[in-house]
Amino acid sequence: MFATLQDRLEATFKRLRSKGRLTDADLDASAREIRIALLEADVALPVVRAFIAQLRERARGADVHQALNPAEQVIKIVNEELIEILGGDTRRLRFAKTPPTVIMLAGLQGAGKTTLAGKLGRWLKAQGHQPLLVAADLQRPNAVQQLEVVGERAGVAVFAPEPGSGVGDPVDVARRSIEHARTKLYDVVVVDTAGRLGVDTEMMQQATDIRDAVKPDEILFVVDAMIGQDAVTTAEAFRDGVGFDGVVLSKLDGDARGGAALSVRHVTGRPVMFASNGEKLEDFDVFHPDRMASRILGMGDVLTLIETAEKAFDQEQTARVAEKLKTERGFTLEDFLAQMQAVRKMGSLSKILGMLPGLGDIRNQVDQLDDRELDKVEAIIRSMTPAERDDPKLINGSRRSRIAGGSGTTVTDVNLLVERFLEARKMMSQLSQGKGVPGMPNIPGMGAIGGGNRKAKKAKGKGKKAQRAGRSGNPAKRARQDAVTAQERPESDALPPAFGGDGLPDLTRGPAEVPEGFELPKELRDLLPKDGK
């Protein structure tokens, strides 16, 4: 959603980094570019004006002009101002001292409230709560049935005493749900109300009546992040009509410009509390302003990536796999399949890679990653016998044909998978044993990072061995050997005693008499005064 904004900001920051010091003209040009980027992202004009005014004021201070790296200081200011616009600190749900905690959802029709109710219920259940979803949207056709299906998929109970589709009193349903939750010991009640087609006075009154009947602890306004400027107008109407405590952004994975996310909080004064960034029920999480600002600036979101990985990977299984990697034959295709399935639980490949910093230049390639390739790999592995998964070297030509036919792929696909798996397993085994990456040369001063060139190492070893064998351990004999070596040394290689082995004067020996015909290197001659002094 923020791809266009990210690209414009990245281009602006790249120009700033190319300058050693920043002038007022540079800052004005950068502020103008950032303003255009925000407007193109459909951010509300008052928000843009406030953002740019604050940026100009802070950028003209001494902390930028006197900084060793002024461009990084400007980026730091932009990051801090983005965090402030998005809400500053992360806002958490307030739970009632005496259960149940009542959460009321409100918003426009089509904003995704019913699906979001299921996502919120699933998230609350994962946090250790016992939520109850209430079908108080009795206007939209099949809204009750949709909530029941979503609740079943999320594993959350649904209170739906009325069939809906225009039948039943939503205020009475909401009121009865509270008593039902107390009786059945549900500690959180999520009330799904009917959506509005705009600033509808009748429907706004219905939402107000439900609010007065259940006295919710939190009223969450669900806004479609793709509707742009209209999101601000609608949010203001709900704030003045029903009132709400926080905002939930739905459809944050869309391809719209995303200005609503940067505008709603600043205009309404209410924080963004949750964000829905996908169609699956697990594509829902707490909104962190600092992490969102980091994504917008192309710095990634490593913390969210770590949290997602911790949820997807089983720690005991990961420890067993790490132990298996210490021996090359220990890690099997069965283990690889289990790890691949855990990665898929984290979401799409493009979503996972999008959380990594520094991928702005290859965003198009990341967005084009096809998760169906993982389906093909899984089909190939599942078409193998247990013995073949345990030892892929058993897979000969006839077995490859059988596996390709069973998985609906080609023999070439099977060959590529087996070859890449064996290479990856060998590399991971080397890394787990601290032997470095095979084929990567050593870096001076960094120790043995890779396997290096074995022939070069062997030759070097022979040379050292020969050198050690050629010199005596007896000091007197070694001195005679050195004298013979000096006599045999070519005359062109000889240097006066006051010069070091690199051909430059040894300043630790005092003045030296320069021999006839000796010339300084060109680099040093260029540094001498033109008169030769």
Place of tokens 């855990």: 342
Is 308 annotated for ligand binding?
Answer: no
Is 327 annotated to bind a ligand? Reply is no
pLDDT at 156: 93
Stretches in the chain below the pLDDT threshold 70: 1-4, 20, 61-69, 196-200, 227-231, 254-261, 298-315, 317-318, 320-330, 347-370, 431-533
- The verdict on whether residue 130 carries a ligand-binding annotation is no
Asked if the peptide bond before residue 163 counts as cis, ω within 30 degrees of 0, the response is no
Q: What is the pLDDT of residue 493?
A: 44
Q: In the CATH hierarchy, which fold is given to the domain comprising 306-432?
A: 434 Repressor (Amino-terminal Domain) (1.10.260)
What local confidence, expressed as pLDDT, does residue 384 receive?
A: 92
**Helix (H) or strand (E) run with residue 386 in it:** helix 386-390
- Cβ proximity of 156 and 123 under 8 Å: no
Do the annotations mark residue 498 as ligand-binding?
Answer: no
Cβ burial of 121 (10 Å; 0-12, 13-18, 19+) is buried
CATH 1.10.260.30 residue spans of the chain: 306-432
pLDDT of residue 179: 92
Residue 109 confidence (pLDDT): 76
- Residues in the chain, how many? 533
pLDDT at 217: 92
Helix or strand holding residue 171 (H, E): helix 170-184
Known binding residue 194? Answer is: yes
- What residue spans in the chain does CATH classification 3.40.50.300 cover? 101-299
Residue 97 marked as a ligand binder: no
- Are 479 and 473 in contact by the 8 Å Cβ rule? The answer is no
Q: Are 497 and 508 in contact (CB under 8 A)?
A: no
The CATH fold of domain 3-86: Four Helix Bundle (Hemerythrin (Met), subunit A) (1.20.120)
192 annotated among ligand-binding-site residues: yes
CATH 1.20.120.140 boundaries in the chain = 3-86
Q: Would you state the pLDDT for residue 354?
A: 61
Whether 113 has a binding-site annotation, put simply, is yes
Q: Is 341 annotated as belonging to a binding site?
A: no
* Topology (CATH) of 101-299: Rossmann fold (3.40.50)
